[in-house]
Amino acid sequence: MKNLIQKYNIPGPRYTSYPTVPFWDKEGIAQQDWERTVKKSFDESNQVEGISLYIHLPFCESLCTFCACHKKITKRHEVEQPYMDTVLKEWDLYCDLLVERPKIREIHLGGGTPTFFSSKNLKKLINGIFKRADKFETFDFSYEGHPNHTSEEQLQTLYDLGSRRNSFGIQDYDPKVQKAIHRVQSFEQVKRVNDLSRKIGYESISHDLIFGLPFQTEESIRNTIKNTIELKPDRIAYYSYAHVPWIKGVGQRGFDENDLPKDNEKRYLYELGKQLFFDNGYIEVGMDHFALPTDSLHKAMESKKLHRNFMGYTAGKTELMIGLGMSSISDSWYAFAQNEKDVDVYTEKVNSGVIPIFRGHLLTEQDLIVRKHILNLMCNLETEWKIGLDVTIKNEIIERLQEMIDDGLLEVSDTKITVKEEGRMFVRNICMAFDLRLLENKPDTRVFSMTI
């Protein structure tokens, strides 16, 4: 296994989309193409399955030095009101375009730190969204909370607004690791928000942990997982630390490359975590995620309904996902588009009445086919050849997979490809064999984190 890890630990995408963002069309997407595909996908799907909304709330009070998300650090809470007004204006722009009232199946508040916002403002935001929309028959509303900055009032307000699912950033409980990543939070602080969520009635609580952080050891991970298991979250995200200082130069400081666990040590931390989760009744779902059998994510996997999008894995697939807020990415199935990353530029565009995208990609017929294969592999660990690839391309893919087939990571038959249990941790490498965009345009500079 050690040799396989060394062999396959290369820079590669996490496939929250296909094509992946660095391979979107350099020309971008024309505003009218974006709007046309949103409308098309809305007309096809609103009545049948509803739409999803992702709302990016970027503010955090303090910078965690490992963080790779789009965030803005400030303690000035005056930023909440104008930002929320802009998000609601952006929502109006979409509603004007769609004409019919959207039916919302999923809302996710991501960040940054959504619980940076006061209860009053969170209420205004969600009520503002529903002034122009209805709930779909099944409605799932979730949000990310920072354990140090989430009050009982916020938990209750979000519950009253319909949320039954939340996730908390834990990362690691070890004091030395916490100091290095500038994220000090005690077990008691986490226990407080976890217990309050249970008391209020949340049905699914998720904890985010990361392996591969500076100064982590076998002992520190065992302890972090012991604390986690004690609180019995319904889901656990066990992320591989993405060290991307060339993108997040300003943020990823405070520790040195030498402080990070080496490749094999890092993989061992993953294996250890996985075993401890299994021992405690969790089941692995897709990549990076573990869930109790009672959780909807696990049920979605069992019924092959798991989906993957920019937020990671979800149990509620919709053809249209609209991302609101600075830097949010939207997916109309036929195209992707990302909002302006600078909050001032984002605000200016919205105020001038324009859906504030700055780049995107219109999928070709071939992109759509490859996208289905990659989604199947990432979600179900198998895909069928009947999803129409040209025979030459199919044979080239098998050729690229040959070494991994010889290494016992997957099986290929006339009808399908199946990733074996031994190959699960290499699923990103397997998807790379399908990634025609990556193969056509190998990037000149480093753009992806390591696959393992």
Ligand X SMILES: C[S@@+](CC[C@H](N)C(=O)[O-])C[C@H]1O[C@@H](n2cnc3c(N)ncnc32)[C@H](O)[C@@H]1O
Q: Is 208 annotated as a binding residue?
A: yes
Q: Is 60 annotated as a binding residue?
A: yes
Helix orientation angle between 80-98 and 343-351, rounded to the nearest 10 degrees:
50
For residue 289 the two structure tokens come to 């995620």
Q: Please classify residue 81 by burial: count the beta carbons closer than 10 Å to its beta carbon, then call 0-12 exposed, 13-18 middle and 19+ buried.
A: middle
Give the angle 411-412-415 at the CA atoms, nearest 5°. 130
Q: Judge contact between 156 and 126, C-beta under 8 A.
A: no
Nearer to ligand X, 98 or 236 (CB): 236
Using CB positions, name the residue nearest to ligand X: 169
Question: Which whole-number Å values give the CA distances from 211 to 177, 259, 303, in the listed order?
Answer: 11, 13, 29
- The footprint of ligand SF4 (CB under 6 A) covers 60, 63-64, 67, 69, 71, 111-113, 146, 169
Q: Is 180 annotated as a binding residue?
A: no
Among 66, 215, 238, 290, interactor with ligand X by CB under 6 A: 66
Among 91, 241, 333, 334, interactor with ligand X by CB under 6 A: 241
Closest CA to 41 of 94, 88, 86: 94
Nearer to ligand SF4, 146 or 235 (CB): 146
Using CA atoms, how far apart are residues 44 and 66, in angstroms rounded to an integer?
41
Q: How far is the CB of 225 from ligand SF4 (least distance, A)?
A: 19
The site partner of 318 among ligand SF4, ligand X, none (C-beta below 5 to 8 Å per kind) is: none
Nearer to ligand SF4, 112 or 312 (CB): 112
The site partner of 368 among ligand X, ligand SF4, none (C-beta below 5 to 8 Å per kind) is: none
The site partner of 239 among ligand SF4, ligand X, none (C-beta below 5 to 8 Å per kind) is: ligand X
Q: How far is the CB of 281 from ligand X (least distance, A)?
A: 22
Which 149-178 positions form the footprint of ligand X (CB under 6 A)? 168-169, 171
For residue 155 the two structure tokens come to 């938990």
**Distance, first Cα to last Cα, the chain:** 12
Closest CA to 68 of 319, 258, 250: 250
Nearer to ligand X, 50 or 110 (CB): 110
Which 77-136 positions form the footprint of ligand X (CB under 6 A)? 110-111, 113
Q: Is 431 annotated as a binding residue?
A: no
The site partner of 210 among ligand SF4, ligand X, none (C-beta below 5 to 8 Å per kind) is: ligand X
> What DSSP element (H or E) covers 268?
helix 263-279
Q: Is 68 annotated as a binding residue?
A: yes
Q: Judge contact between 383 and 377, C-beta under 8 A.
A: yes
DSSP for 9-57 reads: --B----SSSS-GGGS-TT---HHHHHHHHHHHHHHHHHHH-EEEEEEE
Which segments are annotated as binding site? 54, 60, 64, 66-68, 111-113, 144, 171, 183, 208, 242, 329
The binding site for [4Fe-4S] cluster comprises 60, 64, 67
| Positions that interact with ligand X (CB under 6 A) | 60, 66-69, 110-111, 113, 144, 146, 168-169, 171, 208, 210, 239, 241-242
